[in-house]
Amino acid sequence: METTHYLIKNLDQFSYDLDAVEKLKNYLNYIEVVFPTIEEVFGQAWSDKQINIELNDSTKNAAYERIGDSHVVKMGIYNKNIQKKYPENLWGCLFHETHHAFFNPIINDKIDRKIFNGGCEGEPFNFAFMATTYLKLREKNIINAQFYEYFLNKLERELPSGAKNLFKEYVNMFSTNIENFSKFISYLKSSLKLSNSIFINRSNFRQDLNKAKEFLAN
């Protein structure tokens, strides 16, 4: 099974469960609906190959990894988010891992691939990316204000206590002007051409983040 941006190679293993397969197809269609919004927030259309999905019979959260040049998402066909109605299903699972796929080419070139988490546990940067997408979805009336607040609060609750402040800081950076996220990505990409001059090690993280803020303010 394939859609515009996703390719499932082992769906046949679950062909016996027609209900689960149908729910998965519907879920993929919903994720495709919001995919262009992720592109808008990121500031770049998806230009890579389809994201490969490896299904299992789990109900647990999905996981992302990059194998060579391929984006791979491992997820359970019984993931609870797939069972939810739209737009409540725009949480975790493939929605979350797709954000990782967008950002991976940047961190893939970093010595410390968790540098943008500032030494915090959890994923405050990717959560802030998702929060910005939710904000854009609200602006486009794809989700309402109630769902936006629900998702935003849930993101914060899911983070370890030490990561909440950095998450809020990122959200403030990007919610002031949604285009700040794509400007931030452009700033990161330009730095890669300058011998990786920013966000190299955690000891300089605060200094580098302040430089990024100055860039966004101009």
Supply the pLDDT for residue 211: 92
pLDDT profile of the chain (218 residues), mean per 10: 96 97 97 98 96 95 93 97 96 97 89 91 97 98 97 98 97 97 92 68 92 92
Domain holding 163, by residue range, is 109-218
Kindly state whether residues 38 and 91 are assigned to the same domain.
yes
Structural domain count, the chain: 2
Examine the fold and report which residue of 76, 108, 140 is the final residue of a domain before the chain moves on. 108
Other C-beta atoms closer than 10 Å to the C-beta of 166 total 22
Kindly state whether residues 122 and 188 are assigned to the same domain.
yes
Examine the fold and report which residue of 108, 137, 159 is the final residue of a domain before the chain moves on. 108
Supply the pLDDT for residue 94: 98
11 near 1, Cβ under 8 Å? yes
Q: How far apart are CA 143 and CA 146, in angstroms?
A: 8
Kindly state whether residues 14 and 96 are assigned to the same domain.
yes
Supply the pLDDT for residue 194: 56
Kindly state whether residues 4 and 59 are assigned to the same domain.
yes
Supply the pLDDT for residue 111: 79
Supply the pLDDT for residue 110: 79
Kindly state whether residues 177 and 121 are assigned to the same domain.
yes
Kindly state whether residues 192 and 218 are assigned to the same domain.
yes
Supply the pLDDT for residue 60: 86
Written in H, E and C, the secondary structure of the chain is: CECCCEEECCHHHHCCCHHHHHHHHHHHHHHHHHHHHHHHHHCCCCCCCCEEEEEECCCCCCEEEEECCEEEEEEECCCHHHHCCCCCCCCCHHHHHHHHHHHHHHHCCCCCCCHHHCCCCCCHHHHHHHHHHHHHHHHCCCCCHHHHHHHHHHHHHHCCHHHHHHHHHHHHHHHCCCHHHHHHHHHHHHHHCCCCCCCCCHHHHHHHHHHHHHHHHC
Supply the pLDDT for residue 103: 95
What is the pTM (predicted TM-score) of this model?
0.95
Examine the fold and report which residue of 86, 108, 130 is the final residue of a domain before the chain moves on. 108
Supply the pLDDT for residue 167: 98
Supply the pLDDT for residue 191: 74
Supply the pLDDT for residue 193: 60
